[in-house]
């Protein structure tokens, strides 16, 4: 998969120190191949690779991130940019009802999405109305009615049929009297009128699709658009259709035009190739994602999360950013200077690191969300805040000379330090061992191996 490929690439990067131009190019080649394998459209891949390469070559050297992390960071940022940057909420009309038109190929997931969106909006306090303007397939209306019932949202439909007690629903009768003929454009128009009359604040118009793009269908969608003046036209696209996503999106963009995209079937193997292609080629934001057949399998689309998903890093970038913040730049610079001058990383430096780790309090919770971060998660799970206090007490009980030159801490000094800090000699020993490990790590960092996180090795 795309994420496996990228992970492998980044693993190679991680084991290196500084990146040369050749390194960057090799990495870009991998990223290119990985994206193509994920069915991202060729021109999109080309443009993306170009941007990342340019930025990687001219990247300022960051104190807190090693070169590999910088490339990851650039790839991540560029993915977010293509995916639209910020999360884009549904634009609501100043004068309700807000009209949302759904367009897309047959089987793309429009009707399913209509129910999910209606439910979502209802939960947000809106009063949506669903409109069944797909009269192409015999069961299309019934399908929307079933979905509407599950969502607890009323459906305006042309063919009400008689219910069990033989009555005909009001909205159906109204349409029937006015139109006498199953015309999807009229149904859509009447549906919006109905919403206005009964003060529903959002109308979601479900439309027909064909298996392939064709002129007649496109015209029908355009006619409905002209009849209802949608505030949002959402193009629903199956995330698993790969390269075809681009041609389909282009056809709908030209034929009907749309203001936003919904990715459906993002629960399958789809790893985001279609998302990248559609967003990049049409320049339209992705508003929602459909992730299964159940009504609740629905997500507000977050570009940053999708970018992470594509990289399969969970929220690892957030983690890096947090670490970057906690690691005060000035201190990092001082440290780098000291290390370069051949001075040793001291116990006091170690204490400062531990205190910084404590500041990253939200890490524990954050790590709980990360996939594939087992080792690091364990390290943090086991990180006991009281331990920082203990370490602080121990270090404070040492003489300045001991702090600078821990080698001189013999048995009797250990006993004295333990007494002074209210700990045991075992705990003093443990601290000295951990410190020795951290010191080794700092020396590696001085050689450019990566950003150390106290007690955890390199990120």
Is residue 364 part of an annotated ligand binding site? no
Please give the DSSP secondary-structure letter assigned to residue 159.
-
Asked if 53 is part of the footprint of ligand GDP (rule: CB under 6 A), the reply reads no
Is residue 267 part of an annotated ligand binding site? yes
Angle between helices 140-151 and 110-123 (to 10 degrees): 20
Query: By rule CB under 6 A, what string of x and - marks binding of each residue 60-99 to ligand GDP?
Result: ----------------------------------------
- CA–CA distances in Å: residue 381 to residues 31, 329, 377: 33, 26, 6
* Smallest distance, Mg ion to C-beta of residue 160, A: 18
Distance CA(110)–CA(208), nearest Å, equals: 9
Q: Which of residues 267-296 bind ligand GDP (CB under 6 A)?
A: 267, 290-293
Residue 70 structure tokens: 């910088």
Query: By rule CB under 6 A, what string of x and - marks binding of each residue 292-331 to ligand GDP?
Result: xx---x----------------------------------
Asked if 248 is part of the footprint of ligand GDP (rule: CB under 6 A), the reply reads no
Choose the binding region for ligand GDP from 263-271, 276-284, 337-345, 436-444 (rule: CB under 6 A): 263-271
- CA–CA distances in Å: residue 167 to residues 132, 164, 178: 20, 8, 18
> 180: which residues sit within 8 A by CB, 6+ positions away?
none
* Smallest distance, ligand GDP to C-beta of residue 209, A: 5
Is residue 104 part of an annotated ligand binding site? yes
Of 86, 38, 110, 45, the residue nearest 258 (C-alpha): 110
Cis preceding linkage at 9, omega within 30: no
Asked if 111 is part of the footprint of Mg ion (rule: CB under 5 A), the reply reads yes
Distance CA(24)–CA(28), nearest Å, equals: 6
Three-state DSSP class for 24?
helix
Give ∠ CA 53-56-61 in degrees, rounded to 5.
Answer: 170
Q: Which does 242 bind (CB under 5 to 8 A by kind): ligand GDP, Mg ion, none?
A: none
| 108 φ/ψ angles, rounded to the nearest 5 degrees | -70, -25
Is residue 33 part of an annotated ligand binding site? no
Q: Nearer to ligand GDP by C-beta: 142 or 331?
A: 142
Is residue 338 part of an annotated ligand binding site? no
Block residue for tokens 């990092």? 332
Asked if 112 is part of the footprint of Mg ion (rule: CB under 5 A), the reply reads no
* Smallest distance, Mg ion to C-beta of residue 177, A: 26
Query: By rule CB under 6 A, what string of x and - marks binding of each residue 92-121 to ligand GDP?
Result: ------------x-xxxxxxx---------
233 near 262, Cβ under 8 Å?
no
Q: Nearer to ligand GDP by C-beta: 25 or 297?
A: 297
Which residues make up the interface to ligand GDP (CB under 6 A)? 104, 106-112, 209, 264-265, 267, 290-293, 297
Binding-site positions for GTP: 104-111, 206-210, 264-267
């Amino acid at each position: 998969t795309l994420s496996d490929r990228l992970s492998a690439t980044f693993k190679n990067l991680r084991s290196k120190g500084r990146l040369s131009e050749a390194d960057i190019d090799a990495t870009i080649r991998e990223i290119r191949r990985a994206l193509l394998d994920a069915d991202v459209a060729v021109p999109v891949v080309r443009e993306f690779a170009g941007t990342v390469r340019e930025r990687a070559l001219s990247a300022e050297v960051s104190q807190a991130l090693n070169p590999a992390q910088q490339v990851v960071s650039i790839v991540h940022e560029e993915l977010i940019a293509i995916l639209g940057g910020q999360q884009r909420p549904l634009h609501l009309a100043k004068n309700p009802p807000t009209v949302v038109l759904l367009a897309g190929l047959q089987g793309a997931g429009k009707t399913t999405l209509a129910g999910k969106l209606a439910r979502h909006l209802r939960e947000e306090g809106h009063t949506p109305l669903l409109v069944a303007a797909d009269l192409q397939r015999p069961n299309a209306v019934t399908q929307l009615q079933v979905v509407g019932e599950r969502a607890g949202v009323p459906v305006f439909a042309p063919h009400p049929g008689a219910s069990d007690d033989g009555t005909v629903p009001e909205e159906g009768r109204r349409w029937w009297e006015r139109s006498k003929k199953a015309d999807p454009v009229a149904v859509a128009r009447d549906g919006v009128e109905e919403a206005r009359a009964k003060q529903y604040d959002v109308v979601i118009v479900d439309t027909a699709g064909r298996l392939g793009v064709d002129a007649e269908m496109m015209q029908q969608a355009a006619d409905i658009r002209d009849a209802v003046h949608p505030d949002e036209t959402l193009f629903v696209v199956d995330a698993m259709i790969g390269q075809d996503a681009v041609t389909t999106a282009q056809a709908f963009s030209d034929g009907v035009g749309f203001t936003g995209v919904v990715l459906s079937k993002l629960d399958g193997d789809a790893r985001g190739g279609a998302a990248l292609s559609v967003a990049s080629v049409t320049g339209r934001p992705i508003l929602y994602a459909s992730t299964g057949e159940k009504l609740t399998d629905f997500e507000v689309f977050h570009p940053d999360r999708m970018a992470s998903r594509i990289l399969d890093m969970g929220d690892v970038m957030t983690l890096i950013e947090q670490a970057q913040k906690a690691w005060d730049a000035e201190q990092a610079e001082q440290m780098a200077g000291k290390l370069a001058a051949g001075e040793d990383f001291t116990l006091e430096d170690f204490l400062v690191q531990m205190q910084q780790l404590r500041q990253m309090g939200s890490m524990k919770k954050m790590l709980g969300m990360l996939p594939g971060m087992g080792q690091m998660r364990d390290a943090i799970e086991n990180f006991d805040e009281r331990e920082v206090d203990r370490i602080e007490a121990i270090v404070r009980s040492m003489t300045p000379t001991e702090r600078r030159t821990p080698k001189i801490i013999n048995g009797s000094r250990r006993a004295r330090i333990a007494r002074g800090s209210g700990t045991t000699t075992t705990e003093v020993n443990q601290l000295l061992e951990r410190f020795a490990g951290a010191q080794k790590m700092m020396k590696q960092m001085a050689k450019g191996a990566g950003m150390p996180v106290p007690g955890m090795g390199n990120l």
